[in-house]
Amino acid sequence: MRAVVQRVSSAQVTVDNSIIGQINQGFVVLLGIHQEDTIADVQYLVKKITQLRVFEDADGKMNDSLAAIHGGILSISQFTLYAQTKKGNRPSFVAAARPEVAEPLYEAFNQALREQNIPVATGMFGAHMQVSLVNDGPVTIIYDTRENETK
C-alpha cells in the first residue's frame, strides 16, 4: 500500500457536486493498493498513521498525534499512486490492485482506523472525485508498505 498523508486544517471530497465527506483538522490520506497487498499491509499502515506525530504541541514542536489533537481522517482511494512511469508518457497501472481486491482492503483500512477511535470520512471508491484541502504546513508524509521489512 502507498499512502500520501497530508496534514490539513480542513478538507472535503465532492462527487457529482455533492459533498460526501469532510473533516476539520487532521489528515487527508490518499491510499493506493497494490495487487499483492494484504490485511497485514492495512494493519501496518493504520499503526503508522495513527501514531504519526506531526501536530504541534504546546511548545510549538511537531510532537502530537492525531488522537492528541482529536483530529479526523479523510480517506480517499487512489489507484494512480501505483502508476508506472518509467517508459513512455502514458502511465501504466498494472501494479494497482483490481477493484475486487482493492475495495475490501480500502474498507478494512477505514474500519481499522475507526476501531482506533479516529473519525473517518471517505470518498466513494471508484468514483470521479474532487478533493479540496488546506495543507497545513505544508506537511506531507509518504508511506509504502512494500518498502517495509518488518510488517
CATH for 108: 3.50.80.10
Q: Is 78 one of the annotated active-site residues of the chain?
A: yes
3-state helix, strand, coil in the chain (%, to 5): 25, 40, 35
- How many domains, in total, are found in the chain? 1
Q: At what angle do helices 39-51 and 99-115 cross, to 10 degrees?
A: 40
Q: Which of 79, 109, 122, 145 is catalytic?
A: 79
pTM value is 0.94
| pLDDT tens for the chain, residues 1 to 151 | 999 999 999 999 999 999 999 999 999 999 999 999 999 999 999 999 999 999 999 999 999 999 999 999 999 999 999 999 999 899 999 999 999 999 999 999 999 999 999 999 999 999 999 999 999 999 999 999 988 765 5
Q: Is residue 149 part of a domain?
A: no
Q: Which of 12, 78, 122, 145 is catalytic?
A: 78
Q: Is residue 25 part of a domain?
A: yes
C-alpha torsion sign, points 46, 140, 2, 33: positive
Q: Which domain holds residue 86?
A: 2-143
Q: Is 79 one of the annotated active-site residues of the chain?
A: yes
